[in-house]
Structure 1
Amino acid sequence: MYGLNFIDLIVIFTYFLAIIGIGIWSSRRIKSQEDYLLGGRKFGKLIQTFASFGQATSADGPVGVATTTFKNGAAGIWSALLMVFSTPLFWITSPWLRRMRTTTMGDFYEERYGSKKMAAVYAIIGSIGMMGLVSVGYTAMNKTIMAITPKVEKDFTRQERYEYNLALELNQLESKDYNQLDSQQKERLTELRQLKPESVFSYINEYWLVWIVCLIVLIYSVLGGLEAAFYTDMLQGFFIIMLSIILIPFAWWKIKLLYGTSENESALNILHDKLPESFFEIFGAPTLIDFTWYFILVASVVAGITVVTQPNQLVTNAAAKDEYSARFGFVAGSFMKRFCTILWGVLGLAAVLLYSGKVQNSDLVWGYATHDLLGSLKIGLVGVMITSMMAALMSTASTLMLTVSGLLLHNVYKPLVAEKSEQHYVWASRILGASFLVGGAIVATQFDSILEILKFIWEFFVIFAAAFWLGLKWRRANRQGAWASILVTLAVFYLLPVIMPYINPAMRTNKQLLLKTQPEPVERVYVARGMDVTERNKEIGDWNTQNISGATVSNRPDSLKVGDKFTKTFNLPQKSIFWSKDPSINENGVMTARGYFFPELILIQKLGFQLQYQPYALNETIRMIIRLLFPFLLLIVVSLLTKPQNDKQTLEFFIKMRTRVRGFGNEVDHQDVQNAIKNQEATKGFLLFPNSSFEIYKWNRQDVVGFFISIGIVFVVLATLFLAVKMGG
C-alpha cells in the first residue's frame, strides 16, 4: 500500500498510538495554565536535554544537510553547523531565561518595559516567525516521505513522464564541464535550471500527508500540553538519533558491493577513490565559495544573538526545575544535534556516489536513499525511518505550538478577555495552539523552498534583539528606546521591502536594482579520482559526436586517468545583490526582480561602493552586520535622549534576575525573590560593576567550568567533522 510493506504500516501505526497515549495520560495531570504551558516547571537534566534536542531538530535538519552535501560536498555541512560556535553562549543565557520566571517571552517585555502593547506586538510577530519555522519541518518531511514511496515509471502520468525526461536532460547538461558546452547547450541549461523539473513522483498526496501529521500533533499536544510534548520528545529523540545512524551502514555496504575490489577495502576508502577531491573540501569549496571565514564568523554571531530572543527558547528553559537543569539540558541537547549533523553529512557524501544522475531534486535524496537501501529488506526499517522523520517534525511542532499558544494567551487573549477561570484559559490556549499548527500546515502547502524560509526566519528576530539584550544588561534602556528599535527595524528591514515594490512596481524592472554579482570563474587543481575520469571520458565522447557533425566550439578535452593532476573550472552563478531572490523574465519578456529588497545594500551602493564587483559573501556579511547593529544603536541613542525608566516594577525585575532559581519548588523560589526585594543592596554583590548601569553578573565556578567545557566540545565537534570527512583519504 502506497509503496510500503505491511510491517512498515504497523510500525507507523504503533508509534502514533504510543504518542497519543502519552497525550491522554498527561492531560489528566493538568490543573493550571502553568501545568499546560510549562509542565509545572519540574523537569530535570535528562528530560531537558531531549526537549532541547527535540525542539532544535526538525525534519528539515537531516534533509537539509543531506541536500547541501549531495550538491556541494562536505562544505554543505556548514548549512546546519554554523550554530556550533555560538552553543557555549547558551550555557550563560539559559539561566537568565529560567531566572525570568515568566510564562512567555512576551511577559519579559511587559515586566521589563512596563508595556502590555509591546508584549502583544512580540506575541503576534513571534507567532508568525514560529509558524514559518514549523512549516519548514512540514515541507522537509513531505519531500522525504514522498521519495520513500516513489512511483515506478509505468505508473507516471503523461505530465510526470514529460517532466521526468526534462530532469534527465538537465542532469546530463549539469554533469558536463561548462567550458565544453556550446552556446545552444548553455542556453538550454539556463532554461532547465529555471524550470527545476522533478525526477521523483510519489503515490502519496503531499497535502494529505501534511494534514495527517498535523492532526496527530494536535491530539497529543492539545490534550497533554508541555508535559506530553517533553515526554514524547524523549521517545522521539531516540528516533531522531536512529534516523541519523540507520542509513549509513547500509549505504557503506552498498558502496562496497558496487565499487569494492577487495574484502579489506573500506567504503570510506572507496569514497575517496571515486568522488572528486573537491567534495572533501570543508572550507572554501568552489561550489560553496560564499562560506568564507568572515561570513561564517558573522553568521554565527547573528544567529547566537537572535536565537536567544526566539519565544521557544524561553519555554524550553523555563520548564526546568532549576538553573543547572536548564543550562545543562539546553547545551547538551544542542551539542547532540551538532554531532547528528555530521552524521547527516556523511550520508550525503555516500549518496553522491550512489545516486548522482538518479536524483535531480536534491531535497529528495534522503527519501530516495531510504527507499533504495531499506525498502528491499522488508523488515519494517522503512517504517522506522518514516516514524523517525515524523518524530523529528513532531518534537519541534509540539514545542512551537505550546510556545505560540502561551504567547497569544498571555499577551493577547487574557488582556482582552480578563478574569476567567483556569480551565477557560487552558482551553483557550489549546484552541490558539491548534490554530497555529493549522496555519503552519497551510504555509507548508504553499511553498517549496526550505532554504528561503529558513534564512528569513534566521534573521527575523533581529527585530527584538536590541530590546532583549540591552533590556537585560543595561538599566538605562527604556520603553521609548525599545519601541523605536522594534518598530523602526520592523519597518525598514521587513515591511517597506515587501510593501514598496507593490506601491512602485517599476522598482522590480529598474536596471540599477537588477545588478548581479560578477564572480570570476574559479580554477582549482585536483588529483583525478574515479568520477573525474568517468566525467572526462563522457566529455570526450560528446566532443567526438559534435566534431563529426561539425558543431564543436572548443578543443578536444585531454584524456585523464586516475592519479593525474588536472585543472577544473567552476562557473559560479551570478546572484542578485539587492533582492532576496534572483530575477526572472516575466510574460512580457522583461527581466523582473523577485522577493523583497535590501535597503541597506541599496544605500551602500548609492554611497559609491560597487557591490557588483565584490564577492557575494562580502555583500551578505555587510548586510548582516548592518541589520544587527542598527537596532542596538537606535535603542541606545533614543534611550539616552529620553528619561530613564526607574519605576518600582523595573527595579524589581532586575532584583529578580539577580536571584538564582535553586530548584526547591515554586513556593521557596517565590520567597527567595521576596527576600531579595527586601534586601536590595545585598543583590548588588551579584554584579561585576555594581556602581554602573550595567547588569553584568559575576561568574561562579559553575559558569566558568561549564563555559570552557562547552568551548572544548566545540573543538571536539570540529575534530569529528574533519575526521569523518578525511578518514579513508
Structure 2
Amino acid sequence: MLGSLHPLDLVVVALYLIAVIWIGSRAAAGTNNEEGFFLAGRKLGKLYQFFLNFGNATEPQGAVSTASFVYQQGAPGSWLSFQTVFMNPYFWFMNVWFRRVRLTTVSDLFEDRYASKGLSLFYAVFQILVACVFLGFGNVTAYKIASSLVVKQEVQWTAAERTSVEGYREMKALEKQAAAGTLTAEMKPALDTLRDRNARGELRSYVTVLNDIAFYAVFTLVVGAYIVLGGMAAAAVNEGLQSVLIIVFSLLLIPTGLKAIGGWSALAEKVPKQMFDLFGSASAEQFSVVSLCGILLVSIVQNGGLSHNMGICGSAKDEFAARSGVSGTYLKRFMIILWAFAGLIAVALFGVGGLSDPDATWGAMSNRLLGPGLVGLMLAGVLAGTMSTLAAKALAISSLFVRNVYRQIWPDITQAQGVFYARCTIVAVLILGTVAATLMGSFYDIVNIVLTVNIPFGAAVLMTYWWRRVTAPAVWCCVIISTLTILVVPWTASKIPALAQSASLAQPSTKPGTGVYFSKVVHQDPNDLTSPYVAAQTRTNRFNFEVWLLGKAGVNVAALTPTQRFTLQFFVDGLLPFAVLIIASLLTKKTDPARVAQFYGKMKTPVGKTPELEIATMEETARNPARFDDTKLFGRNSSWEFCKWDRVDTIGFIICCAISASIVGIFIGFLRWAAP
C-alpha cells in the first residue's frame, strides 16, 4: 500500500486515466484545422453544451474550498461559491453575446471592435499568465486531497514533523481552554507563541508521504495527453464521463459522514447554531448579505474576461444551444449545497478548529470515512473535475497564443501548423501551471486571486458589449490602473521589506494571525512576543491596498472586522474599472464610427440556423448594420447597446430566476431542518 491507499484505489484511478487518454485519441481525427481543434467546428449541441458548462463550472477546487470555508465559518462560507446561483439569469444573455460575436478568442474581440493589435496581444499575454493561476489552483486542489489521503503513520515521523504536529495539538488544547475561560495567565504566552508559529505555516495536523512535484508531473502529463490529442472535441466527450464522476465524488461524503457522526440529528447537537445561518451575522466573522453583494459584483465582472468563454459558447451550433449551457451551471449549484453540508459534517466530525489546515477538510474526511475502492473513486472524481476545468482553460490559452501572438509575428502559418503550435502551447501552459502550484498558499488567498485576477479585462469586455462610446485608450487606462491596484501592489507589497516591516501597515487585527492591511502578520522575532508585528513571509500574503486607500480617505478601517474589510476590497475592485473606463472614454477620441456600427450590427444579428442562413444574414447586416437599432432599449441614437427583450429572452430569464430562487430556498430549508 502507498500510505493509506489500498491497491484497489490505485486500480480505480488507473482505469479512469486510461479512459480519458483513450477518448482523447479517438477524438483526434477531427482536429486537423484550428476551428476543429479550438471550437469543435461550432457543431456542439445542447447536450454537449450542458456537459461543457457543468464540467467547466464544477471544479473540485470549488468543492474543496467550499467545504474548507464552511468548516471555518459555517454556512455563510459557502457564498464564495454559492453566489453564482444569482448569476445564472445573467448567463442566459452572456452566452449569446459570446456566440453572436462570431470570433475564436476573446483577444479577437479587441481587434474586431477597436482595431487594436496591441490590446489583442496584451490580453493574450495577460491571460496566459492568468491561466497559470487557474491551472495552479487546480493542481493544488488535487494535491491537497490526495496528500491528505496518503499520510505517514506516526512511527514514520521525523523529529521535525513530530514537533510540528505536537505543537499543533498543544495549540488546539490551549485554545479550547481559552474558549472555556480556564486558560491561566501563565499559559497565554505559550498559546500566543504557538499561534504565531501557526501563522508562519510551521504547524500541521498530519504528515503526507506524497511528493507534490511528482504528483503535479503525473497529473499534468495525463491532462496534456488527452487535450493535445483531441482538442475541444476530446474535452466535450470527456465532460460526459467526468460529470458523472463529479456528481459521485460530491455525494460520497454525505451518507458516510452522517453515519459517522450519528445521523442527521447529530448535526444540531455538534455544530454551533450560528453556523446554520446562511446569511451570516454582522458581528461574527462570517460573510453577510453585504459581503454576498460584493462577491457577486466581482464574480460577474471577472467572468466577462475569462478566456474560455469564447471557446465554450462559440462552439455551440446555435444560440439556443449556447443558452442551454445554463442548465449545466444549475446542476453545479446543487453540488455546492452538498459541498456545504460536507463542511458542516466536518465540523461535527473534527470539532471547530480541529484541523490545522482547513484546506485539507475534504481530504481528511475522505481519509476518515471512505474504504478501499471508494477512496479511489473519490480521487478519480477529483481528478476528473480538475481535468475538465484545466482542459477548457488550456485550450483557450492555446488558441490565444496561436491566433493572437504567433500569427501577429508569423501571419502566414498554415492551419496544420497552427494546430501543432497550439498543442505545444498546451504543454507549456500546463507546465507553468505546475510551477504556479508550488508557489500557492491557502485556499482563502487563492480564491481571492481567482475572483479578482480577471477583473481589469472583465470590465473592459462587458463595456465593449454594452457601450458604443468606449475607446481603446480607455481600455488601456482601465487595464493598467486596475491591474496595479487589484493585483500588482497587493500581491507584491509583503515582499518589500520597507512595507512588510512598517508599523502602520503591519497592524494586527482582532483575529489572531491576521492584520488590518496584510492578510497575515506575525511577530518579527518568533521567540519574543514583545517584538513588533511584520507581514508574514508566506507564499501568498495579500496587502489590502483598496482598504488602505479608503483609510487614507477617512474611513476607520481598523475598527472593521476582517470580513468587512474583505467586502470593502471587493466593492472597490468591482467598481473602479468601470469608473476609469467611463471617465477615460469621455476624455478620448471616439473609435471609427463605421467599425463600431458593424460590430454592434453583428451583435444584434441572430445566428443563422444553418450555415447558408448565417452567411445570408451576415451579408445583410454588412450592407445595413443599423437594421436592428430599433431594438435598442434607450432608443436608436443611444450609445448604450442594451436591447429590448424578445419572447425567448423574457421567458428564459423568468425561468432562470425562478430556478435560482428555488435552489436558494432548498438550501435554506435543509439548513433549518438541520439546525438546533
How would you bin the TM-score normalised by the shorter chain?
A: over 0.9
Tell me the equivalent position of 1:235.
241
Change (3 A) 1:499 1:164: closer
Structure 1: give runs of 5+ residues left out of the alignment: 257-266, 519-571
Tell me the equivalent position of 2:671.
725
Tell me the equivalent position of 1:81.
82
Cα displacement string for residues 168-197 of structure 1 (whole angstroms, at most 9, x for unaligned residues): 212212333434323343332333233331
Counterparts of 2:59 and 2:379 in 1: how far apart (Å)?
13
Counterparts of 2:552 and 2:65 in 1: how far apart (Å)?
36
> Do the aligned partners of 2:139 and 2:216 also contact (CA within 8 Å) in 1?
yes
- Match for 1:673 among 609, 615, 618? 618
Shift of 1:290: 4.2
Counterparts of 1:238 and 1:671 in 2: how far apart (Å)?
41
Shift of 1:383: 1.2
Change (3 A) 1:67 1:618: closer
Tell me the equivalent position of 1:181.
183
Counterparts of 1:505 and 1:254 in 2: how far apart (Å)?
48
Change (3 A) 1:355 1:603: closer
Shift of 1:610: 2.1
* Matching residue's letter, 1:122: Y
Counterparts of 1:301 and 1:36 in 2: how far apart (Å)?
33
Task: Tell whether 2:136 aligns with 1:135.
Answer: yes
* Matching residue's letter, 2:130: G
Task: Tell whether 2:260 aligns with 1:254.
Answer: yes
> Do the aligned partners of 2:74 and 2:276 also contact (CA within 8 Å) in 1?
yes
Tell me the equivalent position of 2:393.
400
Change (3 A) 1:505 1:164: closer
> Do the aligned partners of 2:165 and 2:204 also contact (CA within 8 Å) in 1?
yes
Shift of 1:488: 2.4
Shift of 1:573: 4.4
Task: Tell whether 2:462 aligns with 1:469.
Answer: yes
> Do the aligned partners of 1:50 and 1:237 also contact (CA within 8 Å) in 2?
yes
User: More displaced, 385-394 or 455-464?
Assistant: 455-464
Listed as ranges, the matches of 1:15-164 within 5 Å are: 15-164=16-165
Shift of 1:711: 1.3
Tell me the equivalent position of 1:530.
none
Tell me the equivalent position of 1:345.
340
RMSD: 2.3
> Do the aligned partners of 1:76 and 1:288 also contact (CA within 8 Å) in 2?
no
Listed as ranges, the matches of 1:60-459 within 5 Å are: 60-178=61-179, 179-196=181-198, 197-256=203-262, 267-285=263-281, 289-329=285-325, 331-356=326-351, 359-375=355-371, 378=372, 380-459=373-452
Counterparts of 2:345 and 2:593 in 1: how far apart (Å)?
61
* Matching residue's letter, 1:64: S
Shift of 1:86: 2.3
Counterparts of 1:355 and 1:606 in 2: how far apart (Å)?
42
Change (3 A) 1:148 1:703: same
Shift of 1:382: 1.5
> Do the aligned partners of 2:9 and 2:374 also contact (CA within 8 Å) in 1?
yes
> Do the aligned partners of 1:106 and 1:122 also contact (CA within 8 Å) in 2?
yes
> Do the aligned partners of 2:285 and 2:561 also contact (CA within 8 Å) in 1?
no
Change (3 A) 1:586 1:408: farther
> Do the aligned partners of 1:467 and 1:485 also contact (CA within 8 Å) in 2?
yes
Provide the secondary structure at the position in 2 that maps to 1:311: coil
* Matching residue's letter, 2:630: G
- Match for 2:518 among 572, 576, 579? 579
Shift of 1:241: 0.4
Listed as ranges, the matches of 1:683-702 within 5 Å are: 683-688=628-633, 689-702=635-648
* Matching residue's letter, 1:610: N
Change (3 A) 1:146 1:598: closer
> Do the aligned partners of 2:600 and 2:625 also contact (CA within 8 Å) in 1?
no
Fraction of identical pairs, as percent: 29
Counterparts of 2:13 and 2:485 in 1: how far apart (Å)?
47
Counterparts of 2:277 and 2:188 in 1: how far apart (Å)?
27
Provide the secondary structure at the position in 2 that maps to 1:592: strand
Listed as ranges, the matches of 1:576-615 within 5 Å are: 576-582=515-521, 584-585=523-524, 589-594=531-536, 595-615=541-561
Shift of 1:575: 4.2
Tell me the equivalent position of 1:682.
627
User: More displaced, 22-31 or 307-316?
Assistant: 307-316
Corresponding pairs, count: 660
Change (3 A) 1:682 1:651: closer
Which has the greater radius of gyration? 1
> Do the aligned partners of 2:601 and 2:626 also contact (CA within 8 Å) in 1?
no
Shift of 1:499: 5.9
Shift of 1:71: 2.5
Counterparts of 1:687 and 1:711 in 2: how far apart (Å)?
23
Counterparts of 1:85 and 1:184 in 2: how far apart (Å)?
51
> Do the aligned partners of 1:211 and 1:441 also contact (CA within 8 Å) in 2?
yes
> Do the aligned partners of 2:76 and 2:288 also contact (CA within 8 Å) in 1?
no
Task: Tell whether 2:501 aligns with 1:512.
Answer: no
Provide the secondary structure at the position in 2 that maps to 1:514: coil
> Do the aligned partners of 2:282 and 2:288 also contact (CA within 8 Å) in 1?
no
Shift of 1:318: 1.1
Counterparts of 1:404 and 1:78 in 2: how far apart (Å)?
29
Counterparts of 1:114 and 1:317 in 2: how far apart (Å)?
23
* Matching residue's letter, 2:337: I
Shift of 1:165: 1.3
Change (3 A) 1:684 1:47: same
Counterparts of 1:641 and 1:465 in 2: how far apart (Å)?
21
* Matching residue's letter, 2:425: L
Counterparts of 1:498 and 1:76 in 2: how far apart (Å)?
23
Provide the secondary structure at the position in 1 that maps to 2:605: coil
Tell me the equivalent position of 1:538.
none
* Matching residue's letter, 1:342: I
Cα displacement string for residues 112-155 of structure 1 (whole angstroms, at most 9, x for unaligned residues): 11101101111111222221112112111111111222222222
> How does the TM-score come out when normalised to structure 1?
0.86
> Do the aligned partners of 1:659 and 1:676 also contact (CA within 8 Å) in 2?
yes
Shift of 1:346: 1.3
Counterparts of 2:489 and 2:381 in 1: how far apart (Å)?
41
* Matching residue's letter, 1:334: T
Counterparts of 1:135 and 1:287 in 2: how far apart (Å)?
34
Provide the secondary structure at the position in 1 that maps to 2:637: coil
> Do the aligned partners of 2:105 and 2:399 also contact (CA within 8 Å) in 1?
yes
